[in-house]
Chains A and B, each alone.
Chain A
Amino acid sequence: EPEVTQTPSHQVTQMGQEVILRCVPISNHLYFYWYRQILGQKVEFLVSFYNNEISEKSEIFDDQFSVERPDGSNFTLKIRSTKLEDSAMYFCASSVRGQGHYEQYFGPGTRLTVT
C-alpha cells in the first residue's frame, strides 16, 4: 500500500537556523498538508496546498514558514529562522481528489528539536 514518507525522521537545529522538512506524498494525490504536534498536545493544521499554491493557512503559519513543491514529487516545509517554540512533530499529509474521497494520509512525521 502506498504511503506518505518524510525525511528526516529527527532534525536538531539551533535557534535562528533555517530548516527544510521534506515529504513525498502518495503519487496520485493532489492535495497536500502540513500539521504540527507539540509534545503531548493535539495535532494542529498549518497549511494546505493545491495546484502549486497555498489553499489555506492557519495563524501559526506566519512569514517564517513557506511551502514548496519543487519537482512534482517532493513537498517541503521551510522554517526560515527557527524559534524554541517551533520544536514539535511535523506531519505531512496528502489526499486524492475525487467524489467521496476524504481521507488524508499522514506521513510518519519529522521530530524537530530547536535548541
Chain B
Amino acid sequence: GENVEQHPSTLSVQEGDSAVIKCTYSDSASNYFPWYKQELGKRPQLIIDIRSNVGEKKDQRIAVTLNKTAKHFSLHITETQPEDSAVYFCAASAGRDDKIIFGKGTRLHILP
C-alpha cells in the first residue's frame, strides 16, 4: 500500500522567511496530493492540492511542486506570518474515490 514520508518533523522559521516541507510517496498509482493545515484541536483543513498531470501550483503565498518521476512533492510557504504556525500534513491518494494516506506531519513555528 501507499506510504508517505514527510520531513522535517519540526520547522522553525523567522517571520517573513520561507518554509519548505518535503514529502515522498511510494505508490506510482497515486495521482492526487493534498496538503492540510491543522491547528491544535481542529480538523485538517485543505490548503492546496495538486494532481499528477501538473508539476506546480501556486495560490498566493503557497506553492506546491510535484516530481512524479522521483515521487517527491513539496510545499513552499513564502513571507511567513504568525498565523502560519500549525501542523502541516502532506498526503497522497490514488483517485477521487480513494482513501487519503497522510504523512506524519510537520510542526511549523513562525518566530517573531
Interface residues of chain A, those whose CB is within 8 Å of chain B, are: 31, 33, 35, 41-45, 48, 50, 55-56, 58, 91, 95, 97-98, 100-104, 106-109
Contact = CB atoms under 8 A, between A and B. Distances in A.
Contacts of B96: 95, 97-98, 100-102
Nearest to B45: A106
Interface of B: 32, 34, 36, 42-46, 49, 51, 89, 93, 95-105
A104 B100 contact: yes
Given A103-B34, A106-B44, 16 more contacts: A42-B102, A42-B103, A48-B98, A55-B97, A56-B98, A91-B43, A91-B44, A95-B96, A95-B97, A97-B96, A101-B96, A102-B34, A102-B51, A102-B95, A102-B96, A106-B45
16 contacts: A31-B97, A43-B36, A43-B100, A45-B99, A45-B100, A45-B101, A48-B99, A56-B99, A91-B44, A97-B96, A102-B51, A102-B96, A103-B34, A103-B49, A104-B34, A104-B100
A58 B89 CA distance: 19
Given A55-B97, A103-B34, A43 B102 contact: yes
Contact of B43 (A50, A55, A108): A108
Contact of A33 (B42, B99, B105): B99
Contacts of B99: 33, 45, 48, 56, 58
Contact of A48 (B43, B45, B89, B97): B97
Contact of A42 (B34, B49, B105): B105
Contacts of A42: 89, 102-105
Nearest to A107: B43
Contacts of A41: 104
A114 B99 CA distance: 26
A108 B43 CA distance: 5
Contacts of B105: 42
B66 to A, nearest CB: 14
